[in-house]
Structure 1
Amino acid sequence: MILSFVDCAKRGRPTGGPLDTIPPVIVRSVPENYTTQFTGDEIRIYFDEYIKLKDLSKNLLISPPMEIAPTITPISSSKLLKVKFNDTLKANTTYSINFGNSIEDNNESNTFTNYKYVFSTGTFIDSLKVKGKIKDAIDGKVKDAVSILLFEKTEDFSDSIIFKQKPNYVTTIPDSTNTFELTNIKEGNYLLIALQEENRNYTFQPKTDKIGFVNQDITLPTEETYNMSIFKEVPAFTLARPKQESQNRITFGYEGKADSLDINIISKTPEDYKTIITKQFKKDSLDYWYSPSFDRDSLIFSVRHNKEIDTMTIRIKELYKDSLKITQRNTSEITLKDSVVFDVTTPLLSLDQSKMMITDKDTIAVSFEAKISQKKNAAVLYFDKKEEQTYKVNINPEAFTDFFGNKNDSLQFNYRTKPLSDYGTINVMLQNLENRTAIVQVVNDKYEVVQEALIPANAEPKAFFEHLAPAKYLIRIVMDENKNGIWDTGNFLTRQYPEEVIYYPTQIELKANWSLEETFILE
């Protein structure tokens, strides 16, 4: 008897050994890292395995910056990383090329982190450094990458250099940290600034970039740590070309502050001609309203801002007329402190309070006062409210009259209040305010102001906030140095720092029916 045993083969894949977790290793560099008296136009760096470059444009940082970027390969994969200079290198200068996290091995994408190649066209490597911290002037955080720039203060230096010329040295803070260190710098005096740029070109564009600066020369060598707050400047005033929006409305858009803007018509107008100017809600635009309409191909205006006067012409077209429309700005749920605000689409000229009524849930009439807010172009109703109550606002026909004589139709709006136990309160006591004017603000997790209170100089340093919805809040103090009741930003050319903003060290969790007492110690 013959027995035959057959063992069937099983299909499978070879395991290939353990997963590669080791980043690429440099075998040699030509010339070697930290070379002096560099005279070539090319650097070659050899690795022990195939590499690729990932997000090189986001990671690469060359200091000092070059006007013409070098050519860096490989484009796909290679064991050779080559840097070909397309710009003339400066004499007696130390250069650093930081590849960030762009170098990876080709197979497993293991990153060779923060590799920096340094060389000098002179006889030695500059080794001085500048270090410091960055924060946003408003929220104290750094959300996006920030460039740290160092400009040497030579004989021909001027402040305007930051608008048109690249710095002598540069480094970048990623959005995950707020500390910086500039290295390989030579001895000298410098201007230190920080830029959060829309375009990474290392020049300050005031319309789009945030800036921070140190208001003193940086003299190297130094062991000092420099702190900078970045902020958005108020742009210089510019006036856009006016635009006809409707039959009797021309919009003048602008940038900057328009407090002293004066608009007057030069064209000949009818005897009964009248005008009114309103500001658009949350927009940098003024609406110039006029009546009556009259037959003209164009209108000419004189526009004065401070001492500057411009003459502007706008062609007039046949457009629709604006109609009076009334909408509520509040939601239907209001607190006991809220006023009821109505936005109007045309300038509001008068209110007839006798044609308005507020009643509660028992249909009992509620006493109120109605006023026109010229600044907001809105109608505001003030009345005492009670908790767990509903209110009906009836606006009868012809209660509102606008600039053109238009009147409203019948309107009705409903509002309600919640029980006070659904809200919480926060009482903030300040220490070490030292008779300075301050604005105490309660902000939400989006850094939006929920409530605020002004504490004048010499007043008792405390602020009480009520009717706060249960949530997590931050408390911050604005040091109102010019006593105008708002936070003021800074300006580089005038060397004006933004007003200081200080945050309470911990987030506050407020629950329904809670009353919190917080002591804010200013250092």
Structure 2
Amino acid sequence: MIKKYLSLTFILIVVYACATVQSPTGGEKDEKAPILYESSPKDQSTNFKGNEIKLFFNEWMKLEQINKELIITPRADIEYEAALKKQELTIELKQPLEDSTTYTFNFRKALSDITEGNLWENPVLAFSTGPYLDSLKVEGTITKLMTQEPGKGYLVGLYDAKSDTANLREGKPVYFTTTDEKGNFRMQNLKAGKYLLYTFEDKNDNLINNPQAESYGFHSDTLTLFDSIPPIAISTYQRNEDTLKLKKFSPVGKDFIVQYNKGLSSYEIINPKNPDQHIYTNGVEASQYLKIYKENFPNLEYETDSVQLFITVKDSLSQSRTDTVFFKIRESRITNDKIKIENKPNGKTISGQQQFTYNLSKPIYTINYDSIQLRIDTIPIKTFNKEELHFNFNRKEVRLTTIIQETEINQLIDSLKLVSDSIQNYNDSIQNQNDSTDSNIERNSKNGMPNRDTGQLTRNDNKPTTENASVPRGNTTSGTSNYTLQLYTGRGAFIGIESDSTDQSTTSIQFKKAEDYGTIKGEIKNLESDYIVQLLTEKYELKDTVINSSKFQFNYVESGSYRLRLIEDKNGNQKWDAGNPLTLTPAENIYYLEEVITVKANWEVIDKNFDFSVDKTVNEGEENEDL
């Protein structure tokens, strides 16, 4: 009986092993792209009249997101059904194609092999419904302007220049494609004609650019395609050129909100009945909202009373508008967050003229000047007066200006050290006397002699000791005092419009030592317009700026890797101005030195020049970086 069970078990194991499909082990991974064996119509063929397209590959394939990946140009709302069976893809067209037209079917990442997911390389099928195949092409590279990164996944489109809606905001492209990982694009089998070229991030796949959320770029000239043209390089950036509009205004919570359709760069609010009144408003750069505080009009009755205000705003393109709004409030339990310091000085400076900047979360109503001090540790050496503090236009930023000489600070610290050392020496002397007295008492107590005052064998604690002596903070032992210069704002130094105040804040001030930093020097050659030279980190973060200095120099540069950028400031407004894609007005030119500059402490990097001679655009600097 046992033998029968064992035999049955063995048979089941064998059957199970034979029926189980296992992945093969060993062998090299398949990295070969699938190959298109044949197609109907054939690539680059003419006179196609059918309504069915077939592709046959050398291996089993898988199809993913074809409705998103397949681009058919010239653009047409062609409805189709796609079906994949093993190695064959069939696309059935629901309506006939236009006669005498060259079509391109770009499958992008829709097709890959079923085993390793290798994509079909060059996934384009082009054919004509007439006797002639269009053969023109446009290719190039898309780059993000401010970071020089490749514009990966950007839509690139050609628009019919004769159309009234031939732009990225209203019309849709006749031909389009998307960029690859390196920002490269190619559109081929194009019909001769005149086109406009735009590129943008099409995040919602609607072939329309939303400037508030999608960066863009454009070629500033009309492309006339009758023959081959050189590759086109386009830089992209994000800028909203929509006309500045007032959307709405109304009470929100206990305050009053004014909303626009795009971010603001500046604003001014005037009460015509009291033109000198400062209207306290919480608005920030690039914000679409202005919050006008109830406290501007403390006697205003809820719901019934209103105040007429004139509001003038500007956007980043210097478009401006003035609106009349009627400010009113309603009762609410909602309260705003407490005012706080959002950014304070970084604490590193050089001797001489100083400017310390504080940014606050809300506008400042008043300042307690006695609470803003320069200190050496806890010892005040200067308080700031009204003439040394300056507000920006909305009173959310305050700048402290003064002169601090390093030599004078060091002299004060030396004086404090002398006082501290004197106190320490005095305390040491007293301590030695106490130790001597304690020793005598101890000897006397051994001889049976009691303390004169109490009859107890105790230490005289009325004499000063090291523990209870008054020593300035920062003193440790004689000769090792460590004093620091501090910028101090006490609790309540800045008071907001809602009678709230900031907490205490302290910033340690350190003088930079030239030997701990590097210097970068260069020159601008053969450039007639104004310009701006910017020092950037390797990751394109702005560190410093020089304006219209033909021999520029960046001092006190921390050790690290840097880039240099030059903005051709053609209108002299000391900022970069974007172009306008609707009028094909180009943006102001930006140039980069290609090399990454290495800076070390106590090094001087020279000859980092921008040379705009006829025979070269930008000289990328000499190889020798140090002197």
1:205 maps onto 2:210 in alignment: yes
Residue correspondence of structure 1 range 33-72 to structure 2 within 5 A: 33-54=43-64, 56=66, 59-72=69-82
- Cα pair 2:375 2:486 within 8 Å, conserved: yes
Tell me the equivalent position of 2:444: none
Consecutive unaligned residues in structure 2, runs of 5 or more? 1-16, 313-319, 411-481, 612-616, 618-627
Kindly state the Cα deviation for residue 245 of structure 1 after the two structures are TM-superposed. Answer: 5.3
TM-score when scaled to structure 2? 0.70
Change (3 A) 1:342 1:126: same
Partner amino acid, structure 2, of 1:210: S
Residue correspondence of structure 1 range 116-131 to structure 2 within 5 A: 116-131=124-139
Counterpart CA distance in 2 for 1:17 and 1:361 is 72
Counterpart CA distance in 2 for 1:285 and 1:374 is 18
More strand by share: 1
Tell me the equivalent position of 2:157: 149
Tell me the equivalent position of 2:547: 454
Kindly state the Cα deviation for residue 286 of structure 1 after the two structures are TM-superposed. Answer: 2.5
- Cα pair 1:427 1:462 within 8 Å, conserved: no
Bigger mean CA offset, 355-364 vs 508-517: 355-364
Residue correspondence of structure 1 range 106-505 to structure 2 within 5 A: 106-154=114-162, 157-159=163-165, 161-174=167-180, 176-225=181-230, 226-236=232-242, 237-242=244-249, 244=251, 247=254, 249-256=255-262, 258=264, 263=269, 275-280=279-284, 283-289=287-293, 290-297=296-303, 299=306, 306=320, 309=323, 311=325, 316-320=330-334, 325-327=339-341, 329-330=343-344, 333-336=347-350, 339-361=355-377, 363=379, 365-366=381-382, 370-375=388-393, 377-383=396-402, 384=404, 386=406, 390-395=484-489, 399-403=493-497, 406=499, 408=501, 411-417=504-510, 419-420=512-513, 423-455=516-548, 460-505=549-594
Partner amino acid, structure 2, of 1:190: Y
- Cα pair 1:489 1:497 within 8 Å, conserved: yes
How big is each residue's C-alpha offset from its partner over 1:439-493, in whole Å with a ceiling of 9 and x where there is no partner?
11111233221111212xxxx4122223333221111011111212211111112
- Cα pair 1:279 1:286 within 8 Å, conserved: yes
- Cα pair 1:389 1:416 within 8 Å, conserved: no
Change (3 A) 1:263 1:385: same
Counterpart CA distance in 1 for 2:373 and 2:115 is 75
SS of structure 1 residue aligned to 2:182 = coil
TM-score when scaled to structure 1? 0.82
How big is each residue's C-alpha offset from its partner over 1:1-27, in whole Å with a ceiling of 9 and x where there is no partner?
xxxxxxxxxx99876876544433333
- Cα pair 2:221 2:584 within 8 Å, conserved: no
Counterpart CA distance in 1 for 2:504 and 2:258 is 32
- Cα pair 2:167 2:196 within 8 Å, conserved: no
Counterpart CA distance in 1 for 2:405 and 2:93 is 73
Tell me the equivalent position of 2:596: 507
Kindly state the Cα deviation for residue 185 of structure 1 after the two structures are TM-superposed. Answer: 1.0
- Cα pair 1:358 1:393 within 8 Å, conserved: yes
How big is each residue's C-alpha offset from its partner over 1:179-203, in whole Å with a ceiling of 9 and x where there is no partner?
4332101121222222232223322
Kindly state the Cα deviation for residue 148 of structure 1 after the two structures are TM-superposed. Answer: 1.8
Tell me the equivalent position of 2:475: none
Higher-Rg member (1/2): 2
Kindly state the Cα deviation for residue 209 of structure 1 after the two structures are TM-superposed. Answer: 2.5
- Cα pair 2:159 2:166 within 8 Å, conserved: no
More helix by share: 2
Change (3 A) 1:427 1:313: same
Kindly state the Cα deviation for residue 413 of structure 1 after the two structures are TM-superposed. Answer: 1.2
- Cα pair 1:356 1:395 within 8 Å, conserved: yes
Counterpart CA distance in 1 for 2:327 and 2:500 is 32
Bigger mean CA offset, 379-388 vs 59-68: 379-388
Report the aligned-residue RMSD: 3.7
Change (3 A) 1:105 1:144: closer
Counterpart CA distance in 2 for 1:331 and 1:60 is 54
1:27 maps onto 2:120 in alignment: no
Consecutive unaligned residues in structure 1, runs of 5 or more? 1-10
